[in-house]
Amino acid sequence: MPVSCGSKCGRNAFMRRPKTGDVLCKECFFLAFETEIHNTIQQEQLFRPGEKVAIAASGGKDSTVLAHVMNVLNKRYNYGLDLVLLSIDEGITGYRDDSLKTVAQNRDDYGMPLRVLSYQELYGWTMDRIVAEIGRTNNCTFCGVFRRQALDRGARLMEVDCVATGHNADDIAETVIMNILRGDTARLRRCCDIKTGSKAADTIPRVKPLKYSYEKEIVMYAHFKKLVYFSTECVFAPNAYRGHARAFLKDLEKVRPSAIMDIIHAGEQLQIKGTVKKPVRGVCGRCGFVSSQQPCKACVLLEGLNRGLPKLGIGKKSKGERMVALQEQQMREKAHMVKNDF
């Protein structure tokens, strides 16, 4: 026997929401999903009328749903935002080149200007080349660091007021787990912030409108709205540390569906003791972008690649300094030997 929609709209229920357990028809699910994101935007005051907002677009389900919902809400509630798309091409053959075609489709569907920046253009390297140098053990470190800075670079070039990313509730809960396991107190509290950076600190803010949206519901929304998105996993992702946190979170969710939100709320309420040394965010002296160390991680990793020491930025800073010192010593010895030959 058909079950009636829990919102009393008179239609038959179509699904049970993973987040709340409510039984809803398709139309009521769409409205509930969009309204929750609107409420998050309003309560957290993520945007102001007249702002130019760059949506970090990868072509995946999260950024595609974010672009669609932001376009809908901007018109429905008259946010007065100038929405644009910003994509980063990491140079991963068979993955990013295909997903960028989806981003181009989003550009055409929503009439949003698109800017694509590549690692090759910004750093002189592609991820394919980096993986050939470093192997598949620490490749996600390079990609994550370069991508975060590439978004900052792109935002500055496009002269936007903030960047909206597609991080969802599952992503944030996974990050909390990862930071706990790594003992990373600096990132543990910051990873739950729905808005990071500020113009006052000379950095372009980033916001997460999908912070409280479950990944399952994002997939359902994209599927039933028939949105075009790229669903292939990155060819280098299977070895990523995040994959283990994701598997652990999925197991928790089976036992306790509210585990995702519970972890996020726990991270939000976390307080670090005043005696714990916390890094101070500033600006890198080399590239001029936000960093909590000198030089920034992106500059250290890039220096290692250009020096032929791809593991320079992996691990402790002291280890990297020893690697540089050893290389310089070897170069001096080699130069001395050449000089003696003459």
CA distance 108 to 282: 38
CA distance 63 to 107: 12
54 in a known ligand binding site:
no
Question: How does 3-35 read in b/e, with b if 16+ C-beta sit within 10 Å?
Answer: eebbbeeeeebbbebebeeebbbbebbbebbbe
CA distance 282 to 279: 9
13 in a known ligand binding site:
no
Which pair of structure tokens corresponds to residue 165? 């990313």
Which pair of structure tokens corresponds to residue 56? 């970090």
171 in a known ligand binding site:
yes
130 in a known ligand binding site:
no
56 in a known ligand binding site:
yes
Residue 5 C-alpha from the chain's centroid: 35
34, 70, 96, 189 from 76: Cα distances, Å: 10, 10, 32, 34
Which pair of structure tokens corresponds to residue 271? 């307080």
Task: Give the residues across from 53 on adjacent strands.
Answer: 83, 162
Angle at 192 between CA 106 and CA 143, to 5 degrees: 55
Tell me the CB-side half-sphere exposure of residue 250, using CA atoms within 13 A.
Answer: 8
194 in a known ligand binding site:
no
166 in a known ligand binding site:
yes
119, 132, 196 from 312: Cα distances, Å: 19, 16, 28
- Binding site, annotated residues for ATP: 56-58, 62, 88, 166, 171
- Binding site, annotated residues: 56-58, 62, 88, 166, 171
